[in-house]
Structure 1
Amino acid sequence: MSKNGSKKEYIFNFILQRNPQILRPFLGEVELLELEYDSKKRIDIYGRDLDHSSPIYIESQLGCSDEVHFEKVKYLIETNENESGTFVWIASRFKEEYLVAIEQLLELHAREKPIKILALTLQKGYTTTLNKLNRQKDPDIWNHVNHSEFVLPKLSIVKQWGGLPLGFKDSTMSAPNFPLYSTSPEVMNSYLLSTLRKEIPHLLNVHRSKKLTVNSIVFGSGFSDFSFVINLAACEIAIRLENEWQSPLFQRVVSQFKDVENFETVIYEENRVVFPILDLDNPREKVEMATKLFRKVVDVAIPTIYSL
């Protein structure tokens, strides 16, 4: 997905990430770890080849292969610091010039380390499904994608270049490690995002890339006029009104929380509803407590926000 990629592409990547079996015929056993991984590289889907303990980088687009996405794939290959890597480019169809260029990339970089590159195409007509999802509210997207009868996309291989040797293991690939002792914003926010993605996956914006070096992490509610903010340094979670013209709806959210009794403390400000987080000494426990509180906030706020 390009820097200005559409929400449809994000939805498509979200479907892939939650259904790694779609890619199994081409990649074997995989774990698709994160969407929009690395705020600088903005890798659409970052994962791991479980057989080789090797990183997987997936770049997707819903249209025909183009220069923008080729340059992104090229950049990912050239900046890969691991001992190996699998690079997947998904498009609706591929121009021959880019297939030739990819082969040249392989010849250049496969001399240094084992890599595999795949060009996959998305079945014709699946954009119709994505168009329908794109018009829906985030909770409805989640419900549809996770329904047992939801039709998953089908991929076909155009070409594969290179490969990883049988028995090869990449020693540089490891699971994320969150030190128990660190209180730096980057480490705590990394652990926070990882925990939120497991505990509140239906809030689609928790899966998007965030700047981790700042104190406040902002999550879109899926409704442009409201945001959720978590600030571990300030020990607070907040619902924030972004546009004054939605003040009546904001007041409905305020009223909803005033009717709920299972929050110890709620602070009502002009454009924010604030929920304090207990300032625990253990960073991991603080993040886990913040996650539980945030889930409670989301469960109350989202139905009201989307009740229009």
Structure 2
Amino acid sequence: MKILVTGGAGFLGSHLCEKLLQNGDEILCVDNLFTGTRQNILHLLSNPNFEFMRHDVTFPLYVEIDEIYNLACPASPIHYQFDPVQTTKTSVMGAINMLGLAKRTKAKILQASTSEVYGDPEIHPQIESYRGCVNPIGIRACYDEGKRCAETLFFDYQRQHNVNIKVMRIFNTYGPRMHPNDGRVVSNFIIQALKGEDITIYGDGSQSRSFCYVDDLIDGMIALMNSKDGFYGPINIGNPNEFSILELAQNILELTKSKSKLIFKPLPQDDPKQRKPDISLAKKELNFEPKTELKEGLLKTIQYFKKTLDL
């Protein structure tokens, strides 16, 4: 098949392109390289089934394809708050342009949505029927509401134009090729620990997250794309094992054998206190269950950063 991956030079996109190439598909990787990098896909450029195109999804794209994975959008607060208007445009105009392409080519299209659509959740763990608790005018709204609007567009295109959609809500994911300066907690802690710098914890460290290793996430994404017609989602994909931020920091200190000290700073505005997916639907519909334990995944990620940062 001819498969388009938007945001294909990013953290998740590059792993997805790699996996799809192993399946024998032809991949068109599209990225404007705002947060993605050529380095992430350098090893794929010599593959005759792989093509890279520098393009911004806020502008239409005219290609012939069978499937679309729409991953284009900066996904860490540092990057999506850098230009919040552009972030909203990427989610909303990007969805409109990719859905228009899917409609014209009759391609199946998957939207990489996010657990951020749940905001700072009032129920725990989060199930797909929960409608969220999002501040529409806060500093995170460009991303949260942009992704919520993209989901709206996907389901409206399905109802109005019979586009074959799949919508997944991605929970915290980590692994090799994370951007070293994206401000995410796993990459932040690992880099600080490897450099012997103080590890910065926002709040008291009691807030929790569920961390999914990238290989498990990509398996879930492909399983959703290949799921039965008529099943659209939305569906949570992530790891339901929950850890406090303090526990994560302690794990990383242990695995890196670092002597870094923990320091505590105020919690940013609208930062969720808890985040944990209910993956019952993914188990039932996709037979999805993450396999990688946190320490195993952290070790692989630490090795990656040691190599790339030459530490």
Work out whether the TM-score is over 0.5: no
TM range (shorter): under 0.3
Q: Which TM-score applies when normalising by structure 1?
A: 0.26
Q: Which TM-score applies when normalising by structure 2?
A: 0.26
More contact order relative to length (CA 8 Å, sep ≥ 6): 2
